[in-house]
Structure 1
Amino acid sequence: MGTHSVPATPAPPEAERAPAGGWPAVAAVAAVSFVLVLSEFLPVGLLPSISHGLQVDTGTAGLVVVVPGLAAAIAAPLLTMAARRLDRRHVLLALAALIAVSDALAASASGLAVMVGARLLLGLAVGGFWAMGAGVGGRLVPPASVGRATALITAGISGGTVISLPLGSLIGHVADWRAAFVVAALAALLTLVVLGLALPSLRPTGAVRAAALGSVLRRPPVALTLLIAAVVFFGHFTAYTYITPYLQQRAHFGPGTVTAVLLGYGLAGLTGNFLAGLSSRSPRRVLVVAALILAAAVVLLTRVHDEPAVVGLVLGWGAAFGAVPAAAQTRVMDLAGQDTDAALALLVTASQTFLALGSFTGGLLTDHAGTTAAFALGGSAVLLSVLVPAGHRRVRG
């Protein structure tokens, strides 16, 4: 062995250091996104059972989907600003715990008021997580892997959709609807433990203030993307919230067939999310194409009665919407630069506000004119979102 000294290896620049957490932490955040969406949309497959159990109309029972959306829309920017100096690890753990509390409270709800209160708590978790958790993938893996990390986290959306509808439909058929919320609460507790073990400390990247939100909104490309996402969410949830009554009453599917179709919808959504991740270099184009397919599928469902056609259109609908959240989030993050947290908070506000408005509008139409009317309006609204960019270019020209 030589006696000469070996020069010390210089510390790598901050940008080149391996981020803490890595893929286990990304997977843990993705698991929370999965349970969050599972909890948010679990009632969609249970609306008939919930309305019967709480002794309210189907449209009124739709409040269990409306309330989380409204709460999330308000909570996203407020929680982002309130938590601007807090370690993101602590914030995300608190939000994950809130999911478990909400599901447990929903499982024990004796009336609509308690159920709405439980869903209000979930809305706080939805708003906070999508504003502050959906974008942390870029802080957990090297820069070259950011796109895959973001796609994995947003895949939780499609994964939750895969499970929520068929799980709700199946449990509602073989047991009481409350059992579905018990399952969701247990899943939330499990993800809370996993997140606590895997997620490292994540100091806030900067203070998010009201001025930053206004600055992001004043950028036309960002504002346009938010508008497109809002209209797509409105149209989608005007119809989607009432897909179970549609399949039962309009398509005349039995419980087993409904569960199978909803599972197919969710699996198609996973495929759409995967394809959107592969096309991350052109998220605007993905968003427009997905909206066109979604609009066509929902409108055609008001006209067809043949079982294979209905199933095919539902699968196409699932694939199209599966691409929307990932494409919208990628597009907004690309445009926002250093204001990612502010932009994501605004995306949550826009999407969740119009999610709630869509569910509420679809409920009114379902109660007074049937699910066909809700589907017709929903599909037309999504088609309108495709015309927004064209109209914007014409005005600018």
Structure 2
Amino acid sequence: MTARSTILASEQKTAAWGAVFSMSLCVAMLIAAEFMPVSLLTPIADGLGATEGQTGQAVSISGFFAVAASLLMTTLAGRLNRKWVLLTITTLMLVSLALMASAPSFAVLMLSRALLGVCIGGFWSLATAVIMRLVEVEHVSRALAIMYTGQAIAAAFAAPIGSYLGGIIGWRGVFWVLVPIVAVNLVWQWATLPSLPASQRQTFRSLKGVLTRSYFARGIVAAVFGFAGAFSMFTYLRPFLEGVTGVDVTMLSALFLVLGCAGFLGTWAGGKFASQRVVRLLQAVPLLMGLSTLGLLGFGQQLAVVAVLLAIWGAMNTVMSIAWMSWLSQNVDDAPEAAGSLIVAAIQAAILLGAAFGGWLLDHLGIQATFIGSAVLCAASLLLIGSGRRLLKPD
């Protein structure tokens, strides 16, 4: 290899990792845009003359569009270069945030959230397949962990920062702050993402073909139970902490910060172990999340124990995403886009159904039933994973 070719190869590797980091920032912005309105629900409702219930529906509508987009994106994108598809998704996120910040009515708010849902589903359906093309096989888990660091950052800081800035510059100002960051991210992606021509046209038959693989179908169901279990508990964590642990707003924020920051430990563990021990990670996640949830029921009045259990739960919550995407990259490497579309749609649906299930239990049976239901769902996920052999592609 000549000196010039060595330099070019080094530059390509640097650009590839730059693209991975640009995708991590995109993840942070998507997660922040999706969940930050939760901490601004009341002022948004007041500003648009809507009820908090209506505003909550507008916030959650992004999830429905994310499910649809994750199933349709790779099919509708056809043979379009994946670089330009990702740039289009980031551009739509920019438009969504601008609409959200300037929304003159509740209808425009709903439109902005629908657009955001398309961005969320579209990005995640392509993300793992793109990562697999950016870096060498042995570095895919590390690259996925870097990408999911954006999720950990947003989970830890988006809500408290949004709430704090909302009190200073108003809820519209919070979303205007995100607009230039996404604009910078768009330029960064344009500069670092290489050309990613589609290898083949995806069809609904491609999706069906992947879903008929028994090991993949089993994995999808296990992932659904795992994510549903996580969000049936997490969605209603605040009433538990306020009603059972008895924390005030300051301590509540501190506990959520502990949970969010533990996600950084999860990204480290996912990046380090997912390549060689993905089955062990998949087993550990529902086991530790279920035990942590039951531990909260048993020791919910002991603040120090609650903090430790939330840290364990938060780390596993991040590991869960990395582990399942690493499993996909290792076992459906011949059809990553089709598999990515299916698993992202399943996860988004699981989040919505898990939150609805937990809410039903809370309304009819109480917070203890909600947490027990979450642990049962985690147990179901663990049973489906089993030894892990039935989740692996045949040799």
Alignment TM-score, normalising by the size of structure 1? 0.85
8 Å Cα contact 1:166-1:260 kept in structure 2:
no
Aligned residues: 385
Q: CA deviation at 1:229?
A: 1.2
How far apart in 2 are the matches of 1:292 and 1:343? 25
Structure 1 unaligned segments of length 5 or more: list them. Answer: 1-6
Q: CA deviation at 1:372?
A: 4.6
8 Å Cα contact 2:279-2:388 kept in structure 1:
no
User: Match of 1:3?
Assistant: none
8 Å Cα contact 1:62-1:360 kept in structure 2:
no
8 Å Cα contact 1:43-1:64 kept in structure 2:
no
Say which of 139, 142, 147 aligns to 1:145.
139
Say which of 109, 119, 122 aligns to 1:128.
122
8 Å Cα contact 2:71-2:341 kept in structure 1:
yes
What's the C-alpha RMSD, in Å, of the aligned pairs? 3.2
User: Match of 1:167?
Assistant: 161
Over residues 29-71 of structure 1, what are the superposed CA-to-partner deviations in whole Å (9 max), with x where a residue is unaligned?
221112112222223444566567665356x654355322221
Q: CA deviation at 1:95?
A: 0.6
How far apart in 1 are the matches of 2:235 and 2:111? 19
8 Å Cα contact 2:148-2:318 kept in structure 1:
no
Say which of 79, 86, 97 aligns to 1:92.
86
User: Match of 1:265?
Assistant: 259
What does residue range 151-230 of structure 1 map to in structure 2 within 5 Å?
151-171=145-165, 176-230=170-224
How far apart in 1 are the matches of 2:119 and 2:199? 21
Kindly indicate whether residue 375 of structure 2 is the aligned counterpart of residue 379 of structure 1.
Answer: yes
Structure 2 unaligned segments of length 5 or more: list them. Answer: 391-395
8 Å Cα contact 2:266-2:318 kept in structure 1:
yes
* Counterpart amino acid of residue 309 in structure 2: L
The 10-residue stretch of structure 1 (356-365 or 255-264) with the greater mean CA deviation from structure 2 = 356-365
Q: Does the residue aligned with 1:32 lie in a helix, a strand or coil?
A: helix
How far apart in 2 are the matches of 1:252 and 1:112? 35
Kindly indicate whether residue 273 of structure 2 is the aligned counterpart of residue 279 of structure 1.
Answer: yes
Change (3 A) 1:292 1:45: farther
8 Å Cα contact 2:128-2:329 kept in structure 1:
no
Over residues 208-259 of structure 1, what are the superposed CA-to-partner deviations in whole Å (9 max), with x where a residue is unaligned?
1112211111112211111111111112122223334444454333333222
User: Match of 1:336?
Assistant: 332
Kindly indicate whether residue 248 of structure 2 is the aligned counterpart of residue 254 of structure 1.
Answer: yes
8 Å Cα contact 1:105-1:118 kept in structure 2:
yes
User: Match of 1:236?
Assistant: 230
Kindly indicate whether residue 352 of structure 2 is the aligned counterpart of residue 356 of structure 1.
Answer: yes
8 Å Cα contact 1:28-1:194 kept in structure 2:
yes
How far apart in 2 are the matches of 1:137 and 1:364? 38
* Counterpart amino acid of residue 78 in structure 1: L
8 Å Cα contact 1:234-1:355 kept in structure 2:
yes
* Counterpart amino acid of residue 341 in structure 1: E
Q: CA deviation at 1:116?
A: 3.2
Alignment TM-score, normalising by the size of structure 2? 0.85
Q: Which has the higher helix share?
A: 2
The 10-residue stretch of structure 1 (38-47 or 208-217) with the greater mean CA deviation from structure 2 = 38-47
Q: Does the residue aligned with 1:135 lie in a helix, a strand or coil?
A: helix
Q: CA deviation at 1:371?
A: 4.7
User: Match of 2:63?
Assistant: 69
How far apart in 2 are the matches of 1:250 and 1:129? 38
